[in-house]
Structure formats: C-alpha cells, structure tokens
Amino acid sequence: MASEPPVVPIIGGGPAGMSCALWLHNYGLYPIIIEKESALGGMARMSPYPNEWLLGQRGKTARENAAEFAAHIRGLGIETWLGTTPHRLHRENYVRWRLDASGAAAARSLLGPAIVIATGTRFAGEEWVDGVKNARRMAAAGRLHLGASAVGEPGADLGSHVAVIGGGDNAFDVSRMLAEKGVRVSVLMRSQSPRAQPVLVERLRLYQISGLVQVISGRTVEALHDAGSGVKVRLNGGGEIEA
C-alpha cells in the first residue's frame, strides 16, 4: 500500500515559497503554503512595474507574474492556508516537527519532516517612518509613500515635484521614471555617494544635467510638515524643500 506523501509546510507564499511548493509537489511531497496575507504573491503582488529579470515574461508586470504563479499553484491543487501565521514550532520526535498555526481559519497543526521558511525580506522604510516626526501621519494621509510601488500605479497623482528619500536602486530608478514623466525630483540621501548600481545613477544624470533632478547627498530628514496639498521636508542641519 502506498504511504501518504510527507507534508512540508512552507511559511510564506511569495515567489520563493510558491516556487518551492512547485518543486516539492513535483518531487511527490505534499507542500502546504502558509501565508499571512489574504493572497499569494508577496512583494511581487505590490509591484506595478514590468519585471525585466524573468525569462519569457517580457513586458509583464511583477503583479501579473505573481497572479500567474498563484494560478499555477491553484491549478496544481497545492493546499494553501491564507490569512494564517504560524505561532509555535516544536520537535515532536527525532524525525517530525509540529507546527501550530492560527488565523483566518480555525487553529491548525501540521506534522512534517521539514519546514521551509520563505518569509522574504522586510521593507526597511518602516523603521525610517518611526524615526521622522510626522512621517506616520503623512503616510496615513497618502502624502508619503513607502516603497517604490506608488509611483508606478496607473493614475497615480504625482504632483509636479516629488522628494525621493534614499540612495539605493529603488530611489534612483523611481526618480528616473518620475523625470521621464516630466516630474521634478529631489533625491535626498544620507550617504555622500549613492548605493545604487552605477548604471541607474548614470541614467539619472541626464536629468540632473537638464535641471529636472537634483541629488542632495549627506543629509537626513528630520521632520515632515503640511504645506497646502504638499509636504515640507525639513533636513538635518537646516534647510527644507517643498514637494
């Protein structure tokens, strides 16, 4: 008599968790995806931009890719627990783990020989928001956007001047996209030189030369204040810009 395939819980239903589920399923195991949000997709679900890094998916947004990955998982009948978070993991015996989870459905437990953790990375902006006066309030009012996705949303109201805070890939890429739309941009970065890939820095330089973009280095943001429908950004060491 064939024995039941081993159950393998996968914590996190982003692209990594879904890919892992596909592989385990193909190997004849029984993966179960445990995802705290109400849908599969992880960070890719939030991105309105084309993902230029996946073969065979040219022009498709990361959000579309995420939806296709999720449809693939559903099509294979891979069990998925949405709105669920594990809260306890303990060793049942030498060869089995027990994982207790709770959330949208009733509390449930799983017993398996292995557990996959695919919880992704956390967005670093959250800590930043808590350290800057009024930032949380501005974010709640929709005048401060965390992460790179807001700028690419269809119909986003960008105004005529956007302050982009950060000196990494996202900051430089988003600034270039804004400049391409004719929006004036001030990039504010803590470090003296950008952390972004040189190619992204170079792409923005064109707009710096034309005066549409200014890059302010070695400064941090102290506070945000209301300025009509915009935001006044107060910098450390004095000075402010309105965006």
Ligand X SMILES: Cc1cc2nc3c(=O)[nH]c(=O)nc-3n(C[C@H](O)[C@H](O)[C@H](O)COP(=O)(O)OP(=O)(O)OC[C@H]3O[C@@H](n4cnc5c(N)ncnc54)[C@H](O)[C@@H]3O)c2cc1C
CB of 40 to ligand X, least distance (A): 7
CA 139 to chain centre: 16
Which of 63, 70, 149, 162 forms a contact with ligand X (CB under 6 A)?
149
- CA distances 175 to 169, 183, 242, Å, are 10, 9, 16
Nearer to ligand X, 42 or 219 (CB): 42
167 binds ligand X (CB under 6 A): no
- Taking residues 99 to 118 in sequence order and writing x for each that binds ligand X by CB under 6 A, - otherwise, the string is -------------------x
- Rounded to whole angstroms, the Cα distance separating 150 from 164 reads 12
Minimum Å gap between C-beta 77 and ligand X is 20
Sole residue written with tokens 């900051």: 171
102 or 134: CB nearest ligand X? 102
Whether the CB-CB separation of 225 and 134 falls below 8 Å is answered with yes
Residues between 8 and 67 that touch ligand X (CB under 6 A): 11-17, 34-37, 42-44, 46-47, 49, 51-53, 62
Give the residue among 206, 213, 157, 156 at the shortest CA–CA distance from 187: 213
Residue 84 Cβ vs ligand X, minimum distance, rounded to whole Å: 7
Neighbours of 54 (CB within 10 A): 13
At residue 100, the 3 state secondary structure works out as: strand
Residues that bind ligand X (CB under 6 A): 11-17, 34-37, 42-44, 46-47, 49, 51-53, 62, 85-86, 118-121, 147-149
